[in-house]
């Protein structure tokens, strides 16, 4: 996706179809689709979302992207909208999608970007899709505060607890004071779990410093800083290591016990959820589930996995 010698992020699947497959094979986890809104019509996306929601038994969520990456947007339309216009477009898009999820009778909509006549979509979702967005600019924060269930942030953890608390408050206070809403704060986190702290630190240094993709990092941080307003060029330099380690997430590095301590710290700072990444997902998730997740449950940071799974209310009939 981002180009460069290693074609960073260039091999990936279509996310709605992927989410449907994951939904069919799981019973408890929430399943999210990440979607650039300008690349898919809101009525079609709304129908896809409902389909995944029913397959999963009500576990669907939507990670809203407004079209920040120019190379991708040019593949679809030949041009890229101005920054704030992307959020204007997203508001119309989301208004149509929400009506498709909620309305029992046909509805019309006429705006700057869409003209919808007699739209209706059945069935409705089992649960309202959980909406998240990573808006970091003033316009993006306003969009999150008004429309989303959670803001998905690159938190400024290098600046310490007070800076993170202020960053979180800037979203939660805006949502409460302007729109009377409560929103959650999520962030990225990269997991490096080993038997000792020394092993974890050495492995992190190896993959991020010794063989890290510097060219890909330059491309990603350049595009993010220019197009999203999430951080300044100075921040891109300061967070460079963490981009290579795990897309600028908070570090969760060490033994299972240490990682639980770090989860507790970030929870105490006001972070409601962390999207986890691993260098090696296959082995990393196995180790995490086997050794760390039970400790998180014991610490009260996670609900027990023995909670009865949500079961689908849908019965498939093959003609």
- Is beta strand 115-119 parallel, antiparallel or unpaired with respect to 107-110? antiparallel
pLDDT at 258: 99
Q: What is the DSSP string of 122-187?
A: -SPPSSPPEEEE---SHHHHHHHHHH-SEEEE---GGG-HHHHHHHHHHHHHHHHHHH----EEEE
Rounded Cα distance, 140 and 142, in Å: 5
pLDDT at 73: 82
- Tokens (6 digits) for 303: 């609900």
**255-278 per-position pLDDT tens digit:** 999 999 999 999 999 999 999 999
DSSP state of 291: I
Rounded Cα distance, 192 and 198, in Å: 11
Residue with the larger pLDDT of the pair 40 and 216: 40
DSSP state of 81: -
Q: Domains of the chain: which residue ranges?
A: 1-133
Burial class (CB in 10 A: 0-12, 13-18, 19+), 109: middle
pLDDT of 312 > 70? The answer is no
Tell me what the mean pLDDT of segment 36-58 comes to.
97
**In the block, residue with structure tokens 């309305």:** 103
pLDDT at 3: 66
Residue with the larger pLDDT of the pair 34 and 318: 34
Tell me what the mean pLDDT of segment 238-259 comes to.
92
**114 three-state secondary structure:** coil
pLDDT of 280 > 80? The answer is yes
Rounded Cα distance, 19 and 12, in Å: 13
**In the block, residue with structure tokens 């967070």:** 239
Q: What is the mean pLDDT of the chain?
A: 90
Query: Per DSSP, what are the bridge partners of residue 132?
Result: 63, 150
pLDDT at 224: 66
- Tokens (6 digits) for 313: 């209310």
Q: What percent of the chain has pLDDT over 70?
A: 91
- Tokens (6 digits) for 253: 């590095």
CA angle 72, 76, 80 (to 5 degrees): 65
Tell me what the mean pLDDT of segment 131-141 comes to.
94
pLDDT of 217 > 90? The answer is no
**In the block, residue with structure tokens 């996670």:** 302
Rounded Cα distance, 63 and 94, in Å: 12
- CA distances 159 to 24, 84, 238, 313, Å, are 41, 28, 10, 46
Whether the bond between 123 and the residue before it is cis, its omega within 30 degrees of 0, is yes
**66-124 per-position pLDDT tens digit:** 987 777 888 887 678 899 999 999 999 999 999 999 999 999 999 999 999 999 999 99
- Tokens (6 digits) for 204: 């992190």
- The pair phi, psi for residue 243, each rounded to 5°, is -65, -45
CATH 3.20.20.30 at 1-133, yes or no: yes
Helices (H), the chain: 15-25, 42-56, 70-77, 83-102, 138-147, 161-179, 197-204, 214-227, 233-238, 240-246, 256-269, 281-287, 293-298
Rounded Cα distance, 38 and 73, in Å: 8
pLDDT at 1: 61
Element of type H or E holding 112? none
Nearest to 76 by CA among 47, 40, 23: 40
- Confidence category of residue 306, pLDDT binned at 50, 70, 90: low
Rounded Cα distance, 205 and 215, in Å: 17
pLDDT at 225: 59
């Amino acid at each position: 996706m981002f180009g460069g010698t290693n074609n960073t992020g260039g091999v990936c699947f279509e996310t709605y179809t992927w989410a449907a497959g994951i939904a069919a094979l799981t019973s408890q986890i929430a399943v999210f689709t990440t979607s650039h809104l300008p690349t898919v019509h809101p009525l079609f996306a709304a129908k896809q979302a409902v389909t995944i929601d029913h397959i999963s038994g009500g576990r669907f969520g939507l990670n809203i992207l407004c079209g920040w990456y120019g190379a991708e947007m040019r593949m679809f339309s030949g041009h890229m909208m101005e920054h704030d216009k992307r959020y204007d477009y997203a508001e119309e898009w989301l208004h149509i999608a929400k009506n498709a999820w909620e309305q029992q009778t046909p509805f019309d909509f006429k705006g700057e970007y869409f003209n919808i006549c007699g739209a209706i979509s059945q069935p409705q979702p089992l649960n309202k899709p959980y909406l998240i967005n990573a808006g970091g600019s003033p316009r993006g924060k306003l969009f999150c505060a008004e429309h989303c269930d959670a803001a998905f942030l690159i938190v400024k953890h290098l600046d310490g607890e007070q800076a993170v608390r202020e960053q979180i408050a800037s979203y939660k206070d805006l949502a409460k004071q302007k729109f009377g809403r409560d929103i959650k704060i999520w962030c990225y986190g990269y997991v490096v779990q080993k038997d000792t702290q020394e092993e974890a630190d050495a492995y992190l240094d190896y993959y991020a410093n010794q063989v890290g993709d510097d060219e890909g990092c330059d491309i990603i941080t350049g595009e993010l800083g220019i197009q999203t307003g999430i951080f300044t060029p100075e921040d891109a330099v300061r967070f460079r290591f963490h981009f290579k380690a795990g897309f600028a997430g908070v570090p969760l590095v060490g033994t299972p016990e240490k990682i639980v301590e770090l989860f507790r710290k970030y929870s105490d700072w006001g972070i409601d959820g962390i999207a986890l990444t691993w260098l090696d997902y296959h082995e990393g998730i196995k180790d995490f589930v086997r050794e760390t997740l039970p400790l998180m449950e014991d610490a009260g940071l996670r609900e027990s996995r023995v909670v009865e799974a949500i079961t689908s209310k849908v019965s498939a009939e093959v003609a």
